[in-house]
Structure 1
Amino acid sequence: MTDYLFEPPKLQTIPVQGETAQYPVGRIFCVGRNYAAHAAEMGGEVDREAPWYFMKSSSAYVASGTTIPYPPGTENFHYEMELALVLGAPVFQADESAAQAAIYAYGCGLDMTRRDRQQDGKDHRRPWDLGKDIENGAVIAPLTRATDWQPAGQRIHLEVNGEVKQDATLEEMVWNVAEIVAHLSKFYHLVPGDLIMTGTPAGVGPVVAGDEITGGIDGLAPIALRIGPAE
């Protein structure tokens, strides 16, 4: 039995509908600017040559239905509703067919963002980590296996305190899920445990303590998050 100097971090896991076993989370990859309207509202353009990425730590994961504290170091905390996918097989230098076959399940996700810290990074040509890789910043609803659900232009939406803020369809994604996984596999040995958040449609905006976020993608388990007071 291995001894440790301190207790290792708890393994993060996501429920899977219809399964007793849970999905263990490894790396979290996020696709940037995968909806043209969102890129425009952020003052940018879609790079149509290839998708691009940033990452969140596995410790950023939090389950749907949680109340999280308003995070430190920001005065502009934003929601981003996304389709998330998880892998069930290794993928490396794959074509789109093999990439699609490696997807194990899909779920609703929230990419929570310190927008002011992200803008600092853009303005000073520095990494976005303080804006994106934040505690409680990757909210994922229970997953639905790919054998039971496939993306095909379904509605994706988000509400804050019952008011619709984001409302689009998955067909508006610039890069579809097979293209994303195949492209990412050119740079990484992707493995089971890897989670990919596929980008957000237009309509992102701030939340404050006391706000209730709800969202959904037709056919998947809905997502919910409550913003509590700062610690």
Structure 2
Amino acid sequence: MKLLRYGEAGAEKPGLLDAAGQIRDLSAHSTDIAGAVLTPEGLARLAALDPDSLPRVEGTPRLGPCVGAIGKMVCVGLNYADHAAEAGMAIPPEPILFFKATSAICGPNDDIRIPRGAQKTDWEVELGIVIGKPASYVDEARAMEHVAGYCVVNDVSEREFQIERAGQWVKGKSADTFGPTGPWMVTADEIADPQALAMWLEVDGHRYQDGSTATMVYGVRHLVSYISRFMSLQPGDIISTGTPPGVGMGQTPPVFLRAGQQIACGVEGLGTQRQSTIAWDA
């Protein structure tokens, strides 16, 4: 299944994308794509529905983040061997974890606002893991039982805030609109191998990122198990798993986002995002 949320920000309704690419309304069966709906039992109930029996949503409504009420977004740094090489940094001996504030999460096609004073705003297309079953001290052998599905995340980053100023990465990752998520969550049963997905990102039609989840240092199974040792993972939490090479700071010379640009990015089988960049005060 491809589950989504559509409508105005803060008032999104739950939906399903049918085989013809048409949005179907799930409001009669769920209040949101969140929490218990993402558990194995909740997904089984939705999977039993006949999409043709659901109301058709007319037009092209705004898409919100594909998961609602996200408790936390855990991000993984330097998790692609070729990206670490691009950044001139060693492959970490274990996953680097940081958080993106949930207030940064927005719809897949919402505008990205460049923060005041920002000079080095960058892009990162990533595979997002959506947790569906509570996980705490999970063995790798059973880690995939806790995955509800996958989605596209653009881990937008302000590099000066992240790297050149004191403190943790979170302040370079958490400006409002720095977490486009979606367009939909694809349930795990539709993704045969999450470690074999092509991924890409373009700015103004120029392809900067053209990679694959195959070059992840720490794969989905390991990340779910590893993170669950340090914190419980709850239904609706998202793990953003790192980015392949081609980010702006890795260009020669570096290239960063400015207002008035167009971004497109996607992960194989998970859909495409499209954003415009605007000034913070626009």
The TM-score range, normalised by the shorter chain, is 0.7 to 0.9
- State how 1:106-121 maps to structure 2 within 5 Å: 106-121=150-165
1:147 aligns with 2:192: no
Q: Flag the 1:14–1:158 CA change in 2: closer, same or farther, 3 A.
A: farther
**Equivalent residue number for residue 33 of structure 1:** 78
Letter in structure 1 aligned against 2:117:
G
1:98, distance to aligned residue in structure 2 (A): 2.0
Contact 1:156 1:169 in 2 (8 A): yes
1:15, distance to aligned residue in structure 2 (A): 6.2
Q: Flag the 1:42–1:196 CA change in 2: closer, same or farther, 3 A.
A: same
Instruction: Structure 2: give runs of 5+ residues left out of the alignment.
Output: 1-9, 19-23, 27-31, 34-66, 249-255
**Equivalent residue number for residue 137 of structure 1:** 178
Contact 2:112 2:275 in 1 (8 A): yes
Q: Distance in 1 between matches of 2:188 and 2:17?
A: 11
Instruction: Structure 1: give runs of 5+ residues left out of the alignment.
Output: 1-9
Letter in structure 2 aligned against 1:133:
S
1:204, distance to aligned residue in structure 2 (A): 0.4
1:209 aligns with 2:259: yes
Stretches of 4+ moved more than 4 A in 1? 10-19
Q: Flag the 1:11–1:178 CA change in 2: closer, same or farther, 3 A.
A: farther
Q: Distance in 1 between matches of 2:101 and 2:142?
A: 26
Contact 1:83 1:108 in 2 (8 A): yes
- % of aligned pairs identical? 31
Contact 1:115 1:131 in 2 (8 A): yes
1:156 aligns with 2:199: yes
Deviations 1:208-230 (A, max 9, x none): 11111111111111112110123
Q: TM-score, normalised by structure 1?
A: 0.88
Letter in structure 2 aligned against 1:26:
G
Contact 1:118 1:131 in 2 (8 A): yes
Q: TM-score, normalised by structure 2?
A: 0.72
Question: Which structure is higher in RCO with an 8 Å CA cutoff and minimum separation 6?
Answer: 1
RMSD of aligned C-alpha atoms? Answer: 2.0
Report the number of matched residues: 218
Q: Distance in 1 between matches of 2:211 and 2:171?
A: 28
1:14, distance to aligned residue in structure 2 (A): 8.3
1:97, distance to aligned residue in structure 2 (A): 2.7
Q: Flag the 1:133–1:13 CA change in 2: closer, same or farther, 3 A.
A: farther
Contact 2:76 2:96 in 1 (8 A): yes
Q: Distance in 2 between matches of 1:30 and 1:11?
A: 26
- State how 1:40-79 maps to structure 2 within 5 Å: 40-47=85-92, 49-79=93-123
Contact 1:154 1:217 in 2 (8 A): yes
